[in-house]
Amino acid sequence: MPSKPPIVTDACTAQMKALGAQIRNQRKALRLNATVTAEAAGVSRVTLHRIEKGEPSVTMGAWCNAMAALGMVLQARNVADIHAASPDRTGWIPVRVALADYPQLRNLAWQVHGTDTLTPVEALGIYERNARHLDLNSMSAEEQALLQALRLALPPSTGVSEGV
């Protein structure tokens, strides 16, 4: 008989759902189906689906295996350290990059229809493919920080010059 799921606070539930969405987005960005990913992680496809939904009853080992299969790591951080180290969110990468928040990315992504957000991998790909059109002098500090964080966190997809 399976054990009862733990009682989880609303804040923890939101974090787990966000992490599950990030895992799903990474899987989709890598163009892997759930069956292949689950096999690589050593879990069932149903368990992977439960992880991507953010269910708290799935073991931490299964979460870590799924993340490792996708080239991700789980890192625990103290909330006070996060706020002290980066109050301006330097180096922070959103799960979904809102085009409305980044004007140059929005201009470069003119061919993207049907969505107002991109995955970090998609955003970096657009920045890299269109590097010659970027105007760093007019780019906001927030957008420059996003571009730098994407370049540090994700592997380059096209080999475009890093001088931009």
> Over the stretch 20-35, which tens digit does the pLDDT of each residue have?
999 999 999 899 999 9
Over residues 77-101, the mean pLDDT reads 69
Q: Identify the architecture of domain 10-69 in CATH.
A: Orthogonal Bundle (1.10)
Dihedral angle computed from the Cα positions of residues 43, 45, 51 and 55, in that order, rounded to the nearest 10 degrees: -110
Q: Give the CA count within 13 Å in the CB-facing half-sphere of 57.
A: 8
Over residues 38-58, the mean pLDDT reads 95
Reference 148, options 102, 92, 104; nearest CA is 92
Is 66 in contact with 124 (CB distance < 8 Å)? no
Q: For residue 87, what pLDDT is reported? A: 46
What value does the mean pLDDT of the chain take?
83
> pTM for the complete prediction?
0.51
Q: For residue 84, what pLDDT is reported? A: 59
Q: Delimit the CATH 1.10.260.40 region(s) of the chain.
A: 10-69
- The percent of residues above 70 in pLDDT, for the chain, comes to 84
Over residues 142-149, the mean pLDDT reads 88
Over residues 12-25, the mean pLDDT reads 89
Q: Is the pLDDT of residue 164 over 70?
A: no
Question: What is the chain's alpha carbon radius of gyration, rounded to the nearest angstrom?
Answer: 18
